[in-house]
């Protein structure tokens, strides 16, 4: 028997989890369950992480968390339990498979257009770090973090997923035309890793064009890999193509721990009324069985689910009018009745290896290039005009430094700009060295401290080059040779 950790969740979570586990029991899946406490009820007891210490220990011991939908209380500064779980255990790759299901009517099924695609979404970084600050009363900032090692993890997962699914093409969705450094790094890493998989065709597409093409011709895509926020949006778009989030299984894959969950909400308005649809959680459970090496059980359950739906069995949130909807329990029983277990042979449950707890946090570093600090961006709170700020800075600038640009919301307003550019009360003053000599980072900090006597500085950001190449963006309207 393989032991896994199970969290039933909130709202409809307990009843759809009970439904799924009853299907597993009927299929004689060799699993044992440790039930753990996570979600809103745990928040209400004062656990700000949304999970008990015992739950954390259980999950880190079994390496598998199977969870129902969970509610994060609004307000109070608490983080989403779903995001916290994924990030705590570094489940770097979110994998969602979208397929046409016979008996679930969509625009594409009615047109006879089959969909079979997988979204692989980066799960840890991007704006989901939740690193945000108010800089002034009118300006809030969110920091977007994209790392090369993090990109490597999810992109390699995408190529491996494509091989397992028998796909021929992996597509990288991105916005590198605008976010040239963050999405640019992601895209560069994609093509570097693509060289390791010559049997697969690698291509890329700008994410807004991707959304348009998915709506028009989703059958042209197979495996798509994206950064976190873009992947979140595109995943839900794809769910809409196949009938909604109720038919969208989700696996969160890490090197040590894996999380399988329903991605829809807790639907508290129908909780306990025998109305919930357990399909998404059951399909996620099938992904879990496949990851555990229990593919025969996963296939049997998947086939039973498809057979039940094709026969017209459905809960009230989907299905054709020719058949009457049934409750959660009746729907579950129809799946159990459709199970065919004759082809299941003895399972080698010892193939699954529990995670080995590392002694320290893993530091992921990808290269040994030469990094040099060449300047500093100083964020200044001010309602003055850019020329007035420039006058102050130039008066107090060290000899080996130049004021190269002043921007407002990313657009240059000094030394050149337009009077038609509306301003907010946060400027970025960019100071760069004017010498070929190496200037220590401390010197730039000292320059900022000196200017602090004359300007209201709210934040600073160092400007670096890597192997002599500029690794910071130019302003909108700034000349490249400035």
pLDDT in tens, 234-285: 999 999 999 998 888 999 999 999 999 998 999 999 999 999 999 999 999 9
| Residue 456 reports pLDDT greater than 60 | yes
Superfamily of domain 92-253: Isopropylmalate Dehydrogenase (3.40.718.10)
Give every CB contact of residue 392 below 8 A, 6+ residues apart in sequence: 451, 454, 455
pLDDT in tens, 75-97: 656 678 888 898 889 999 999 99
Give every CB contact of residue 216 below 8 A, 6+ residues apart in sequence: none
What pLDDT band is residue 476 in, cutting at 50, 70 and 90?
confident
What average pLDDT score do residues 23-45 get? 93
Architecture of the domain spanning 371-470: 2-Layer Sandwich (3.30)
| Residue 348 reports pLDDT greater than 60 | no
What average pLDDT score do residues 109-123 get? 94
* pLDDT given for residue 318 in this prediction: 81
| Residue 466 reports pLDDT greater than 50 | yes
**Among the ranges given (354-363, 400-409, 454-463), the one the predictor scored with the smallest mean pLDDT:** 354-363
Rounded to two decimals, the pTM is 0.89
| Residue 210 reports pLDDT greater than 90 | yes
| Residue 62 reports pLDDT greater than 60 | yes
Q: Cα separation of 458 and 380, whole Å?
A: 6
* pLDDT given for residue 299 in this prediction: 93
What average pLDDT score do residues 411-432 get? 96
Compare 390 and 477 and report the one with higher pLDDT: 390
* pLDDT given for residue 333 in this prediction: 97
* pLDDT given for residue 72 in this prediction: 79
Q: Cα separation of 406 and 387, whole Å?
A: 9
Compare 367 and 236 and report the one with higher pLDDT: 236
What average pLDDT score do residues 419-429 get? 96
What average pLDDT score do residues 152-173 get? 97
- Same fold flag, 1-89+271-367 and 92-253: yes
User: CATH assignment of 1-89+271-367?
Assistant: 3.40.718.10
What average pLDDT score do residues 141-163 get? 96
Cβ count near 429 (within 10 Å) = 26
Burial class (CB in 10 A: 0-12, 13-18, 19+), 162: buried
* pLDDT given for residue 482 in this prediction: 46
Q: Cα separation of 205 and 203, whole Å?
A: 7
Q: Which residues pair with 32 in a beta bridge?
A: 3
* pLDDT given for residue 123 in this prediction: 94
Asked if 179 contacts 187 with a C-beta cutoff of 8 angstroms, the reply is no
Mean pLDDT of the chain: 92
For the chain, the structural domain boundaries read 1-89+271-367, 92-253, 371-470
What average pLDDT score do residues 308-318 get? 88
């Amino acid at each position: 028997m393989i032991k896994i950790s199970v969290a039933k969740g909130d709202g409809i979570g307990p009843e759809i989890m009970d439904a799924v586990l009853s299907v597993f029991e009927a299929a004689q899946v060799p699993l044992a369950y440790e039930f753990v406490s996570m979600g809103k009820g745990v928040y209400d007891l004062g656990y700000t992480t949304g999970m008990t210490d015992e739950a954390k220990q259980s999950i880190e011991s079994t390496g598998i968390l199977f969870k129902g939908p969970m509610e994060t209380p609004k307000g109070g500064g608490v983080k989403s339990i779903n995001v916290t779980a994924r990030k705590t255990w570094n489940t770097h790759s979110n994998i969602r498979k979208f397929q046409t299901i016979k008996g679930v009517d969509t625009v594409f099924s009615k047109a006879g257009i089959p969909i079979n695609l997988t979204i692989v979404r980066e799960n840890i970084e991007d704006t989901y770090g939740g690193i945000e600050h108010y800089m002034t009363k009118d300006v809030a900032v969110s920091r977007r973090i994209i790392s090369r090692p993090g990109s490597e993890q999810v992109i390699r997962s995408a190529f491996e997923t494509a091989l397992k699914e028998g796909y021929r093409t992996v597509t990288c969705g991105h916005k590198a035309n605008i976010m040239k450094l963050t999405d640019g790094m992601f895209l560069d890493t994609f093509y570097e890793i693509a060289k390791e998989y010559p049997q697969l065709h690698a291509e890329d597409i700008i994410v807004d064009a991707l959304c348009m093409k998915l709506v028009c011709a989703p059958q042209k895509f197979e495996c798509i890999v994206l950064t976190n926020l873009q992947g979140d949006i595109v995943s839900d778009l794809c769910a809409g193509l196949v009938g909604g989030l109720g038919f969208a299984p989700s696996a969160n894959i890490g090197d040590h721990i894996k999380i399988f969950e329903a991605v829809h909400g807790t639907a508290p308005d129908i909780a306990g009324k025998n109305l919930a649809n357990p399909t998404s959680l059951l399909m996620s459970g099938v992904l879990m069985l496949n990851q555990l090496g229990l593919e025969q059980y996963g296939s049997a359950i998947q086939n039973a689910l498809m057979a039940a739906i094709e026969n017209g069995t459905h809960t009230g949130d989907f299905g054709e009018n020719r058949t009457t909807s049934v409750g959660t329990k009746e729907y579950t029983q129809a799946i159990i009745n459709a199970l065919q277990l004759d082809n299941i042979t003895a399972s080698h449950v010892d193939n699954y290896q529990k995670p080995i707890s590392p002694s320290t946090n893993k530091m992921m570093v990808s290269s040994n290039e030469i990094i040099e600090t060449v300047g500093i961006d100083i964020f200044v709170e001010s309602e003055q005009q850019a020329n007035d700020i420039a006058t102050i800075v130039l008066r107090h600038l060290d000899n080996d430094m130049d004021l190269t640009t002043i921007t407002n919301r990313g657009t240059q307003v000094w030394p050149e700009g337009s009077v038609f550019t509306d301003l907010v009360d946060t400027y970025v003053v960019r100071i760069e060295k004017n010498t070929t000599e190496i200037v220590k980072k401390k010197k730039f900090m000292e320059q900022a401290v000196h200017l602090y006597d004359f300007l209201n500085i709210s934040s600073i950001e160092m400007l670096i080059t890597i192997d002599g190449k500029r690794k910071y963006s130019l302003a909108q309207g700034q000349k490249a040779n400035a």
